[in-house]
Structure 1
């Protein structure tokens, strides 16, 4: 991998994105009375409305046409929008169904999955420490599956969908906010139609204030809250090396894990800790190898 100059602004924006994601379970917990599907539909709708309004004020009405006029780019953003909608949906359901710790596991696995995607699709080569890190993480997943009698599908689906989202957004040549706006506009009509069907069927509650006015306000604000880290991430991933982004991604799941144990009171016994220990060991090896590689690149540039 070729040396890439570190963009300090991009670095801090990436930190902000992962801290917001790490604390997000607290926000979804406030909406626990609302079915998870409806939370996700509201997120998609209000995120699309708010981002589209901002882009229209800033750039005029042509921002959407300028992107969809490029079929390849439009297709990439339609796919990334679908992936992030799936990711958010599963994540919200996991938090409100009492699976915060397993959700955090998904985002711990994500950096190592980024490495495997780099090997499979970007023709990147792994060092021996990186292969060891991936192997240890695989052992951790296998241990958790064996001890709990079920495959950690929540964690792996979250990791896989977000890893693919990051790859697509890295190569989608579009400004961060505009890309997010187009992603959400592709999701807007299906989300609005499904939410209208739920409301007309009597299972909703937004317009009737069934859950209370404060909950409705939180549903609207959820669109803005989830847009912010996505904008930050899309901005940073085009300016910061993926190896650095991979290291910073540990911030989010670490905060989620702490919330799962100390705020939500989910069980975290010795068996589960042992599985996580394999994964953390792999992450530590991966992080140390990344730091050493970065230092070697700096020395080579200064030589």
Structure 2
């Protein structure tokens, strides 16, 4: 196994921006609390597809998809990743608007550890001793949260598994980030559009007629907020080792946890605080090790 390569700085910045945006998303979806969760997901799919596919057609022409799926296995792998991310969206939005923001943050605390495991076991990525210590401390925090949560955290585990597998598929699929998202979205577009139209004609929807201009605008702009972090994540995950991306993902659940506790006043007792502290100690160890390694200099030896 080869050691972890030099980190791509642009990939790191893009990953960080994506995770910050994801971390703030509960505030946005809470504004749409009056809209059924399924309707929000369907609108996310439709508007993000129109945005991404429209941009690709403008920049690359109508045949952009042929180049994207020319390699073997790309088409069916993107169909699978699209299904996983749609499931993840639906569960997440329902959980946020049902008052489970803290549990969704637990899911995204678990997810980076799952990415580290996938990176090491399946992609032969290698961690040094300090990074293993960081992972072990963070894992202890996640285990503490899981076993002291008060009930089986099925929402958290389902979110972690679905997004972890999504990241793995996008890591190993040889397709650029934006075309890949375009193909994923295209697979979901027609079923989502058909269900939206059925809902509107059978009294289950309220777009334009009932929800009001403000909510309609939020639903449409939700497509932009859906596409941007996914494009950034897919860009970063192909340029940064999956184990590093996995640990960076703690940015999003930390913000979600703070929003759940400080904004939505959800329960955050002593047991949850202990788990949170363990996770942040692990992150601190990983960050200090990364800074130290980046400052090392190789001094050439004269012949």
TM-score tier by shorter-chain length is: 0.7 to 0.9
**What is residue 98 of structure 1 aligned with on the other side?**
99
Alignment of 1:102-113 (within 5 A): 102-113=103-114
Tell me the distance in 2 between the aligned counterparts of 1:240 and 1:104: 23
Matched, 1:240 2:223: no
Ranges in structure 2 where 5+ consecutive residues have no aligned partner:
none
Do 1:42 and 1:219's aligned partners in 2 also have CA atoms closer than 8 Å? Answer: yes
Q: CA deviation at 1:146?
A: 4.3
Matched, 1:85 2:86: yes
Higher helix share: 1
**What is residue 227 of structure 2 aligned with on the other side?**
227
**What is residue 49 of structure 1 aligned with on the other side?**
50
CA shift in 2, pair 1:146/1:238, >3 Å: closer
Ranges in structure 1 where 5+ consecutive residues have no aligned partner:
none
**What is residue 256 of structure 1 aligned with on the other side?**
256
**What is residue 36 of structure 2 aligned with on the other side?**
35
User: What is the SS of the residue equivalent to 1:116?
Assistant: helix
Q: TM-score under structure 1 normalisation?
A: 0.88
CA shift in 2, pair 1:200/1:47, >3 Å: same
Do 2:119 and 2:242's aligned partners in 1 also have CA atoms closer than 8 Å? Answer: no
Do 2:18 and 2:230's aligned partners in 1 also have CA atoms closer than 8 Å? Answer: yes
Q: CA deviation at 1:125?
A: 5.3
Tell me the distance in 2 between the aligned counterparts of 1:128 and 1:250: 20
Q: TM-score under structure 2 normalisation?
A: 0.88
Q: CA deviation at 1:139?
A: 4.7
Q: CA deviation at 1:173?
A: 1.4
Alignment length, in residue pairs? 300
Matched, 1:265 2:265: yes
Tell me the distance in 2 between the aligned counterparts of 1:244 and 1:122: 13
Alignment of 1:1-303 (within 5 A): 1-124=2-125, 136-137=137-138, 139-207=140-208, 209-288=209-288, 294-295=293-294, 298-299=296-297
Do 1:144 and 1:272's aligned partners in 2 also have CA atoms closer than 8 Å? Answer: yes
Tell me the distance in 1 between the aligned counterparts of 2:300 and 2:54: 46
Do 1:109 and 1:137's aligned partners in 2 also have CA atoms closer than 8 Å? Answer: no
